[in-house]
Structure 1
Amino acid sequence: MNINGVGSGSSGTDYSRITGLATGMDIDGMVKGMLARDRARMDKVGQDRQYLQWQQEAYVDIIKDLKDFNNYFDILKADNMIGSSNYTGTKVVSSKENVLNATTLPGAVKGLYEVKVANLAESAKAQGSFSPLNSGKITNTNGADWQNKTITFSVDGKEIKITLDNMVNPDGSAAATTLDGIVQKIQEKINTTELKDKLTLSAENGTIHFQGAGSQDIVLKDTTLKNLAALKDKSITSFNRNSKLSDLGITAGNFRVTVKGTEFTVNIDNTKSIDDIVTDIKNTQLPSGESLGNFINVSFSDLTKKLTIESKYTGSKEALTITSGTSNFADKTGLTGEFTGINAKVSIKAPGENAFVEVEKESNNFNIDGMSYNLIKPTGDESIELTVTSDATASVDKFKKFIEKYNALVEKINTKVSEKKEYKFKPLTEEQRKSMKEDEIKSWEEKAKQGMLKRDGDLSQILSDLRSAVYNAVEGSGITMTELGITTTSKYMDGGKLEIDETKLKAALENKGDLVQKLFTQTGDKYESQGVFTRFKKIINDNIGFDGTLIKKAGSKDTRWVSENDLSKRITEKNTVLKDLERKFFVKQEALYRRFATLEKNMNSLNSQSNWLYSQMGAS
């Protein structure tokens, strides 16, 4: 028979057939009795291990709640209680939200603001464009042979036809006899049409190049010139972000960009596309590894066909210099030069004032006297009205939700440290679980888990620290929790829960929002000058931070204490002890069954001899 303890060890041998036929003894019962003390020791260690596991689960559950609570003090979280918007107590309405909008900060003066935006802040920006290049091979350089030939262009769907009647003089003399001369004659004819300054011709190594400028699409629709037949129906100016730089007349090499006083050398591979070079510019690095993309934005527009390089930030302090290098990239695109940003210029008339005050800022988003401005468009001489009124409804609602969360946390911890322990309910052994139904097991374990953390020192300290953070005054805040209408409940057993007088809180936020913000968020080297939420953050960090007390005790995933915590070590120790007891139990069990097996064998032998003697006596 297999007899198991709390652990999972088994004898591996089946003695269930040893029934004591020869001796008449209940061998299974006797072995169980002899192993009862060993089984009890294993059960005790198994129960202790289970209790430690339950304790660990309970601590980890509280750690999770503390982490969730800590989100209120993370400025990056949407429901944080640190941001200034929680303490404004006011709202602002703009007469033209699409031109200028604003939000209020603690301390904003209520009333009517008038704002004029002369200009927006801008980055240091360089813009250039590409000129596509299409070519035809020219073998005939006798201008007389070009006389009266025609070329028809289509410009955005409109046809422009030129006749080359200027290739020779009226008397037939002085005909163009070189490729450069022929190109010059054609260019002169083009310049008499609306294609002037939009289409430029050049000659190189027996090839005539057509180069378009601007955003109009120019197509060579027809020609009586065999030399240009290959370009028929082809767009001369069309290109996109996938066009190769070499097709746009860009040569390989480099150019330089200087920003924030640092010069970067950008390498140009003209076998790449416009899209590729945009990426290459941003990824250009110094030997130190610092990337040009940390300082500038680079983009290309398929709509305007323009390449833009600009500083990441706005304002007159921003400067950008682009110089030529061994590539013609900077010159060809028209990007070379020195560029500077400009400051935003605004005039503001505050409530109760008669005159506008001129303000100059490096950014289009800035704060002044409790107002946060977001400039969208210049207004010229037109004034945009910003009306600031009292309204702390949203802030009061956020405080209510926060305090509900705080009270739930306090209640949970207080319950854990104060609930009565049911000593008669211990973790069930495997044998006990086999004889019980699922609902009975669940009910039993719920009672067995009660009081696991009763009077726990660390949890009790958290409650004490939280209460002290609320009770103790904040030096320099100029206001108290009582003045806000936030006090502890009158029930002592609540463990320090908070309650709100919404009328008082609303009035404080609307009239003293800046002081309320200090009370909760003020920082300082001394505990006395730290705001309530600043104290809360420290309490949480001390317990669930990198080396927090609870983290070291029970562990948490994604921390270095996930398996090296105190409880995990103790559980491991119990596992070691339990395995040793199971091994000894197995050895002892095997030995007992062997002894009884030998006894059975001997009794069988004696019975056989007895039967033989009996038969012999009967025979005589």
Structure 2
Amino acid sequence: MRIVGLASGMDIDALVKDLMKAERIPLDKMVQQKQIFEWQRDSYREINKLLDELDRLIFDGVYRLSNFRQKKVTSSDESAVVAKAINASANTSTAIEVQQLAKAATYSAATLNNFTSGARTLKFEVTDPGSTETREVTINIGENDTLDDVIYKINSSNLGVTGMKLKDSSGVERLVLTNNKTGEGGTIKAADSETFDFLQSLGFSLDDTTFNLIPETAGQNAKVKINGYETVQTSNTFTIAGIEYTIKNVTTSPVTISTSTDVDAILDTIVKFVNKYNEVIEKINGKLTEERFRNFPPLTDEQKEEMTEKQIELWEEKAKSGLLRGDAILTSGLNQMRLDLYSPVAGDALKGFKQLTDIGISTTANYLDRGKLTIDENKLREKIQENPEAIYKLFMSDGESYNDKGIARRLRDSLKGMMTKIKDKAGTSLSTNDQFTIGKNLKDLDNRINAFQDRLIQIESRYYRQFTAMEQAIQRANQQSAYLMQLFGGGA
């Protein structure tokens, strides 16, 4: 603890504090520069996040052929047959007649009165309907398990059935097992005598030779005619030529299933891409043209203490402005993205679909939009209806040369290159400062700040030593003056 100013009567602490303010000016500038670097780093990372979002949207949208093969499917009788497009390329009209629905096999116990608890291991060999592969299933029954516990374990196992207790028309409660899959040919076999005896004790019927459970109702395949051709299916839901059919009832006349291009769904995919692209270039252009307010440097801690939160917010809004103004990485990246979109795609197969303007997408008339896209929806709808796969190729054509690549492929390549450059400069949230340029600048500034803070401690100590020496000199002068006055007074 220092006690100074007793001899001089001066506020030494205040004097040293004022002197240190001047000495701290270089440190404040370094701290402010560090803050600028951190803001720049964060701005770059924000841009990279936006570019990554665009890249992901392209991959999930115009990058996928299935998005350009979306179909609307209609049924002339939805109570009998419904359908949806899975991967259908052409528009079709199909006549389907349902002759027989698929059913699952059921197995019924005669009575539940003979169930006795006790630990046992049930072993089965199971073949599903329509399959030739057999799997082994083991169910462990505990010493004190009830019948409900047994049913729960059956349902939770890989046996492939659902068990439940049901009362028949005479009021007798039975255990009924229903196969989880429809169709003919499935078998459930007791794999050992213990399992055979347990199932028989419950009243299930089993073949004495094969040990197979005998169904009360056998499994049944679905039988349908499609365009006059008869086919058998193990399930009431099946896929043919990219269309998934679900049959509900036997029909007396053919049901017509029609597919057409789902223009709205494909249009939505393209609109999402255009909107996201516009959002990205708008934000990047905003950063590139943002005004730089050099008279608003980052605030020091002392300055913040003298301001309200609103004042700090308004000040820092201007201090952060323009930190990426005219940035070379963003400028070159944006120029490349525009080139990717506007350059025609080569290939004879793309006649009439070589560039975005061919499908109704062009740049806005307002030059202040700096390359934002606009959509002529009527024209785009016409082109989607005309040839949706040609539009897909416009986005996704592949080739060795730049001109052979589709617009989305070019754009993703450019986005990845741009994101890599930004990462090299600003890193990611997982990067250490040694791994990117701004981080190295921050590390260098930290070292200089620490060294300067050590120097300030030495300077402050020197000031106090000097003022202490002054105090001591004043003290001695005061003592000498008092002594002389005492002498002069004594002489009188």
TM-score (norm 1): 0.62
Matched AA of 1:62: I
CA distance 1:277–1:445, shift in 2 (3 Å): same
Give the alignment partner of residue 115 of structure 1, picking from 80, 92, 96.
96
The answer on whether the counterparts of 1:101 and 1:375 sit within 8 Å (CA) in structure 2 is: yes
Amino acid aligned to 1:97: E
* Root mean square deviation of aligned Cα: 4.2
> How far apart in 2 are the matches of 1:315 and 1:537?
47
Once the two structures are TM-superposed, the CA of residue 409 in structure 1 deviates from its matched residue by: 1.0
- Picking from 274, 287, 290, the partner of 2:150 is 274
Q: Structure 2 vs 1, CA of residues 504 and 120 (structure 1 numbering), >3 Å: closer, same or farther?
A: farther
Match of residue 254 from structure 1: 123
1:252 aligns to what SS in structure 2?
strand
Establish whether residue 307 from structure 1 lines up as the match of residue 204 from structure 2: no
Q: How far does residue 39 in structure 1 lie from its aligned partner after superposition?
A: 0.8
Partner AA of 1:594 in structure 2: R
How far apart in 2 are the matches of 1:82 and 1:357?
Answer: 37
Structure 1 residue matching 2:192: 3-state secondary structure: coil
Deviations for 1:468-524, whole angstroms, at most 9, x for unmatched residues? 432341645552322211122345553432111111101011121222233335567
Correspondence for 1:366:
239
- Deviation of the 1:460 alpha carbon: 3.4
Listed one character per residue, the Cα deviations across residues 178-233 of structure 1 (whole Å, up to 9, x for unaligned) are xxxxxxxxxxxxxxxxxxxxxxxxxxxxxxxxx4xxxxxxxxxxxxxxxxxxxxxx
Match of 1:484 among 353, 359, 368: 359
Measure the CA separation in 1 of the matches of 2:110 and 2:120: 13
- What residue number does 2:136 align with? 264
Change (3 A) 1:396 1:583: same
**Corresponding residue for 1:514?**
389
SS of match in other structure, 1:602? helix
CA contact (8 A) 2:396 2:407 kept: yes
Mapped partners of 1:618, 1:433: distance in 2: 58
2:475 to 587, 604, 618: 604
With over 3 angstroms needed to count, the CA separation of the structure-2 counterparts of 1:358 and 1:482, relative to structure 1, is farther
| Candidates 300, 305, 308, aligned match of 1:429 | 300
- For residues 248-274 of structure 1, the C-alpha deviation after alignment (integer angstroms, 9 at most, x for no partner) is x99435334467746435253353422
Partners of 1:94 and 1:454 in 2: CA distance: 58
Structure 1 position 60 matched with structure 2 position 45: yes
Determine the C-alpha separation between the residues in 2 that align with 1:574 and 1:252. Answer: 72
State the AA in 2 paired with 1:117. V
The alpha-carbon deviation at position 384 of structure 1 amounts to: 1.5
Listed one character per residue, the Cα deviations across residues 543-563 of structure 1 (whole Å, up to 9, x for unaligned) are 66xxx5545644555xx5488
Matches of 1:563 and 1:97 in 2, distance apart? 63
Deviation at 1:362, TM superposition (A): 7.5
Aligned equivalents of 2:178, 2:403: Cα separation in 1: 53
SS of the residue corresponding to residue 72 of structure 2 reads: strand
CA–CA separation in structure 1 for the residues paired with 2:105 and 2:188:
9
The offset of 1:611, in angstroms, is 1.5
**CA offsets per residue over residues 309-344 of structure 1, 9 Å max, x none?**
557xx889x976645125315854558549999876
Alignment of 1:432-451 (within 5 A): 432-451=303-322
Question: Matched residues, percent identical?
Answer: 29
In structure 2, what is the Cα distance between the partners aligned to 1:323 and 1:344? 28
SS at match of 2:157: helix
| Aligned positions of 1:71-86 closer than 5 A | 71-73=56-58, 75=60, 80-81=61-62, 86=67
Please state how far the C-alpha of 1:451 moved relative to its aligned partner: 2.5
| Structure 1 counterpart SS, 2:194 | coil
Superposed counterparts of 1:529-544, under 5 Å: 530-540=405-415
**Aligned mates of 1:89, 1:320 — CA distance in 2:** 39
Q: Distance in 2 between matches of 1:276 and 1:477?
A: 60
- 5+ residue gaps, structure 2, are 167-173
Q: Given residue 75 of structure 2, which amino acid in structure 1 is its aligned partner?
A: S
Taking the aligned partners of 1:543 and 1:308, their CA distance within structure 2 comes to 58
**Whole-angstrom distance in 1 between the partners of 2:178 and 2:404:** 50
Stretch deviating more after TM superposition (358-367 or 421-430)? 358-367
1:179-328 equivalences in 2 (<5 Å): 211=114, 246-247=116-117, 251-252=120-121, 254-257=123-126, 261=133, 263-264=135-136, 266-271=138-143, 272=145, 273-278=149-154, 281-282=157-158, 297-303=160-166, 305-308=175-178, 310=180, 322-325=189-192, 327-328=194-195
Change (3 A) 1:418 1:599: same
Aligned to 2:26: 41
User: What code does the residue aligned with 1:483 have?
Assistant: D
CA distance, structure 2, for counterparts of residue 327 and residue 346 of structure 1 = 42
Take 1:401 and 1:587, find their aligned partners in 2: how far apart are those partners?
62
Of the structure 1 ranges 480-489 and 297-306, higher mean CA displacement relative to structure 2 is found in 297-306
Q: Name 1:50's counterpart in structure 2.
A: 35
Identify, as 1 or 2, the structure richer in helix.
2
Is 1:501 paired with 2:376? Answer: yes
Report how many aligned residue pairs link the two structures: 459
- Paired residues of 2:99 and 2:251 also in contact (CA < 8 A): yes
Q: CA deviation at 1:43?
A: 0.9
Specify whether residues 550 and 451 from structure 1 end up closer, same or farther in structure 2 by C-alpha distance, changes over 3 A only: same
1:574-593 superposed matches below 5 A: 574-593=445-464
The Cα of 1:618 is off from its aligned counterpart by: 1.6
CA contact (8 A) 1:106 1:517 kept: no
Q: Quote the Cα distance in structure 1 between the aligned partners of 2:313 and 2:18.
A: 30
* Whole-angstrom distance in 2 between the partners of 1:81 and 1:315: 39
Superposition deviation, residue 26 in structure 1: 6.4
- Conserved 8 A contact 1:411-1:494: yes
Please tell me the residue identity of whatever aligns with 1:94.
S
The AA in structure 1 aligned to 2:371 is G
Q: Could you list the runs of 5+ residues in structure 1 that have no partner in the other structure?
A: 1-12, 135-210, 212-244, 283-295, 350-355
Q: What is the match of residue 102 of structure 1?
A: 83
SS at match of 1:97: coil
Amino acid at match of 1:99: A
Asked if the contact 1:47–1:429 (Cα under 8 Å) also holds between the matched residues in 2, the reply is yes
Q: Distance in 1 between matches of 2:301 and 2:231?
A: 79
User: Distance between the aligned counterparts of 1:443 and 1:461, measured in 2?
Assistant: 31
Q: Which has the larger strand fraction? A: 1
- Superposed CA offset, 1:279-299 (max 9, x none): 7634xxxxxxxxxxxxx7453
Question: Which is worse superposed, 65-74 or 594-603?
Answer: 65-74
Counterpart amino acid of residue 177 in structure 2: L
8 A contact 1:315–1:341 mirrored in 2: yes
